[in-house]
């Protein structure tokens, strides 16, 4: 198992918005409104996006954004419903962002399911779909992004240890999307918890006028977190993949006994599973710093099942008896 150096909570803290509860306790108004019956406007260029959003801006309507890479599933649908209830106009971006994929990763094979995505967006009451080409987002070419967002130390651990260039690409494209759409609020999934933490930190640190909200992870009936990459799994791998959420659940169930017990319980389940190659299993506080006894925490896991890398995480309340094992000793 990879061991990662502890991350300083104070560097990365976003105390204004944490975990699932933060999303539901947001100050944003909740405005249940039925899905619009109109088809979404499809904007492919910056000019088309401006034209699509101008009437909403002129009318003083609030705009929400759900950034995605397409291959939409019920997890994305939940983010859209969450955003739609909190805004007058819902924009969804569909863009497989090349700069967050390393050369050895799956950019070329990433699922692209435009017709199905469009039908889902129409059904979910999306007002505007922004689906740019690569050169619209990167006019000088994705390899020459020029000015990029430095994601800081949190981007070097956990996902960042395996994917060292990933979060620079994510934050750069999300900053661009925020600049283009200028949303009042943006919704991201807790499934990608480290990504959500980094985007919150970016918006706060760079004074971006957008409220970043996290929405809970949507799961398959057996507990597997929904993910576009689940499509890569064959039947046997799909059965094995449930080990990630089972491990997290075992950890959550041990929360009263403290941090050491949480990690041990989760570790036993994930390492006992055939064909599941653990990358990391870590316990953090809700800001992804060091977990504290008697406080809310986050248990995060990543593993390879066949050639597919999957991640998942769950929140828990740690018992007082928490003494962390030395990570290097595990």
Ligand X SMILES: Nc1ncnc2c1ncn2[C@@H]1O[C@H](COP(=O)(O)OP(=O)(O)OP(=O)(O)O)[C@@H](O)[C@H]1O
> What residue ranges bind ligand X (CB under 6 A)?
68-69, 75-76, 78-79, 188-189, 191-192, 215, 217-218, 225-229
Judged by the rule CB under 6 A, the positions of this chain that interact with ligand PAF are 67-69, 97, 100, 170, 173-174, 192, 195
> How many CA atoms, within 13 angstroms, populate the side-chain half-sphere of residue 216?
8
Annotated ligand binding at 195? The verdict is yes
Name the residue among 328, 296, 329, 326 with its Cα closest to residue 314: 296
Please name every residue paired with 68 in a beta bridge, in sequence order, or none if there are none: 94
Closer to ligand PAF by CB, 66 or 270: give it: 66
Closer to ligand PAF by CB, 173 or 180: give it: 173
296 touches ligand BAL (CB under 6 A): no
Beta pairing, strands 89-94 & 185-189: unpaired
Give the active site residues: 76
Here the tokens at position 88 are 């007058």
Annotated ligand binding at 229? The verdict is yes
Question: Which of 14, 190, 192, 287: binder of ligand BAL (CB under 6 A)?
Answer: 192
194 touches ligand BAL (CB under 6 A): no
Question: Which of 26, 28, 99, 100: binder of ligand BAL (CB under 6 A)?
Answer: 100
**What DSSP character marks residue 93?**
E
Please, what is the minimum distance in Å from the beta carbon of residue 94 to ligand PAF? 9
For the beta sheet containing 63-68, the strands, ordered from the edge strand earlier in sequence to the opposite edge, are: 41-43, 128-130, 89-94, 63-68, 185-189, 211-215
| CA–CA gap between residue 199 and residue 3 (Å, rounded) | 24
| CA–CA gap between residue 319 and residue 330 (Å, rounded) | 21
Cite the annotated binding site for (R)-pantoate by residue number.
100, 195
Binding site for ligand BAL (CB under 6 A): 100, 192
Positions at the binding site? 69-76, 100, 189-192, 195, 218, 226-229
């Amino acid at each position: 198992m990879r061991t990662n150096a502890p991350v300083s909570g104070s560097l990365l803290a976003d105390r204004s918005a944490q975990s699932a509860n933060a999303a539901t306790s947001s100050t944003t108004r909740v405005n249940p409104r039925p899905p619009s019956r109109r088809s979404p406007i499809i904007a492919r260029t910056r000019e088309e996006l401006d034209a699509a959003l101008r009437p909403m801006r002129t009318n003083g309507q609030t705009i929400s954004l759900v950034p995605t890479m397409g291959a939409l599933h019920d997890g994305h649908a939940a983010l859209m419903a969450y955003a739609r209830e909190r805004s007058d106009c819902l924009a969804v971006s569909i863009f497989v962002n090349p700069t967050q994929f390393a050369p050895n990763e799956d950019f070329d094979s990433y699922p692209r399911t435009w017709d199905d995505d469009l039908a889902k967006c129409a059904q979910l009451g999306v007002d505007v779909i922004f689906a740019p080409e690569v050169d619209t987002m990167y006019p000088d070419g994705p390899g020459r992004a020029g000015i990029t967002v430095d994601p800081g130390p949190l981007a070097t651990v956990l996902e960042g240890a395996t994917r060292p260039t990933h979060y620079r690409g994510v934050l750069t494209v999300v900053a661009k999307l925020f600049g283009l759409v200028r949303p009042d609020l943006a919704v991201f999934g807790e499934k990608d918890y480290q990504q959500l933490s980094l985007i919150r930190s970016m918006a706060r640190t760079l004074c971006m006028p957008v409220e970043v909200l996290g929405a809970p992870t949507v799961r398959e009936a057996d507990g597997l977190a929904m993910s576009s990459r689940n499509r890569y799994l064959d039947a046997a791998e799909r059965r094995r993949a449930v080990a990630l959420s089972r491990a997290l659940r075992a950890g959550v169930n041990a929360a009263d006994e403290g941090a050491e017990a949480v990690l041990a319980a989760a570790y036993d389940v994930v390492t006992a599973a055939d064909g599941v190659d653990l990358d990391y299993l870590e316990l953090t506080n809700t800001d992804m710093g060091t977990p504290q006894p008697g406080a809310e925490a986050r248990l995060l896991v990543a593993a390879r099942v066949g050639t597919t890398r999957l991640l998942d995480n769950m929140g828990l309340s740690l018992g007082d008896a928490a003494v962390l094992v030395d990570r290097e000793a595990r």
